[in-house]
Homo-oligomer: A and B are copies of this chain.
Amino acid sequence: MTKKLARGVAVVGVGMSKFGAFPDKTSRDLFVEAYKELKTSVQKGFDPNDIEAFYMGNFSSDQFERQSHLAPIVASWIGLSPVASVRIEDACASGGVALRQAVLGIASGQYDVVLVGGLEKMTDLPGAQVTDALASAADTMFEIPAGFTFPGFYAAMATAYMNEHNGDLDALLKVGIKNHVNGALNEKAQFNQTIPDVMAGKVAKAIQKGLPVPEWKDEMDFLRDPKANPMIAWPLRLFDCSPVSDGGAAVLLVAEDLVAKYTDQPIFVIGEGQASDGSLPERASLSHVPSAVAAGEQAYAMAGKTPADIDFAEVHDCFTIAEIMASEDLGFFKPGEGWKAAMDGKTARDGEKPINTSGGLKAKGHPVGASGVAQVVEVWKQLHGTAGARQLPGTPRIGLTHNVGGTGQTSVVHIFERRF
């Protein structure tokens, strides 16, 4: 399985829109925001006519916006026609898989310069319809008939994980607190606030409305309060779930031999892997995601790196438990140690293995098809030392992205290295 790409590929520019709920914007508007930022990020500039292909990760604009065939339509909107334009759908992993196809497209010799997009506009539908649309990513024969939607599936995984490893449910809350700390330092994040910020907001609102002022001892007390943080699917509460979001992200890839034309500060894709799996009932255990383990192993083998070589990672925390499982699936911590690492702050920005410095899906937001591409935006910023207030110390050298679809039917992992 250890393959070498026929040609190296580097990231030379990135951009993303603000994530959030934008009733006045179309998905096309959001992608324009991302693309405009990307254009300013390419060190030596670039001519849009250089772009030869466009890969668009999008989960279901069909259902969210009644607009399929999104790739050529967005390409036309930003002036890229007639470049080859491909929509990739692998549920919540659509963005990461789009990135991978773009990498393969360049490695194949077919393209030299490729734009990767990720895009989703989810908030135009009523909440129940959003949940229904998301549920279509689960297996309609083997998962949906059990009566679950996604919070339920991940609740089952959380239950299995915590039971198998005798874990402490507080670890879930700690993941949320940490990701909000990071998201508060990310101006693009949907939840650009810490949990104490959220608490202060609720107190202020109560005072303003003349209601009883809530009193919480600390963040954990707040997160355990069923009124403040209601149970969604035991043991997952509201603050364990990533939000419904609108947003777009974009990444510009070029072939190794052309990098110098665009930048002296390239980020190379040194490893990538992707794997699939059947539905939850087919798995021997629910406490890890086998496809993520496989994708990670492929990526490490290609990069010639081990988990210890990874300075930081953006992982797919659609629910807090998913981040804990990812931290084990990727080999950062041993099975059963992920929850302890979260409790001990090992995944914080000043910890031994910082995870989701962007705020993650939890705080940054989760416009489904955009998430896997937005992860690369964060890795790029950290590797360039331009992540502002949330910048990791010492400018890291190697970052990893981990993007999961469904209940783990798809996982895709990329490893990036700063070469300057």
A residues lining the B interface (CB < 8 Å): 3-7, 26, 28, 54, 59-60, 62-63, 65-69, 71-73, 75-76, 80-91, 97, 100-101, 103-111, 133, 136-141, 274-279, 282, 290-291, 294, 405-406, 409-410, 412
Name the residue on B nearest A61 (C-beta). Answer: B136
Measured between C-beta atoms, what is the minimum distance from A72 to chain B in Å?
4
Query: Are A69 and B409 in contact, CB atoms less than 8 angstroms apart?
Result: yes
Which of chain B's residues have a CB closer than 8 A to the CB of A84? Answer: 100, 274-276, 412
Name the residue on B nearest A137 (C-beta). Answer: B69
Which of chain B's residues have a CB closer than 8 A to the CB of A133? Answer: 62
> Bound state CA distance, A65 and B139, in angstroms?
11
Q: Which of B72, B105, B276, B410 contacts A406 (CB 8 A)?
A: B72
Query: Are B101 and A110 in contact, CB atoms less than 8 angstroms apart?
Result: no
> Bound state CA distance, A100 and B111, in angstroms?
13
Taking A4-B109, A59-B68, A69-B89 as known contacts, 9 extra A-B pairs with beta carbons closer than 8 A to each other, sorted by chain A number, are: A5-B108, A66-B136, A69-B136, A69-B137, A71-B89, A72-B409, A81-B277, A84-B100, A103-B108
Query: Are B82 and A101 in contact, CB atoms less than 8 angstroms apart?
Result: no
Which of chain B's residues have a CB closer than 8 A to the CB of A88? Answer: 86-89
Query: Are B71 and A90 in contact, CB atoms less than 8 angstroms apart?
Result: yes
Q: Which of B66, B83, B105, B140 contacts A108 (CB 8 A)?
A: B105
Name the residue on B nearest A138 (C-beta). Answer: B69
Which of chain B's residues have a CB closer than 8 A to the CB of A410? Answer: 69, 71-72, 85
> Bound state CA distance, A211 and B82, in angstroms?
54
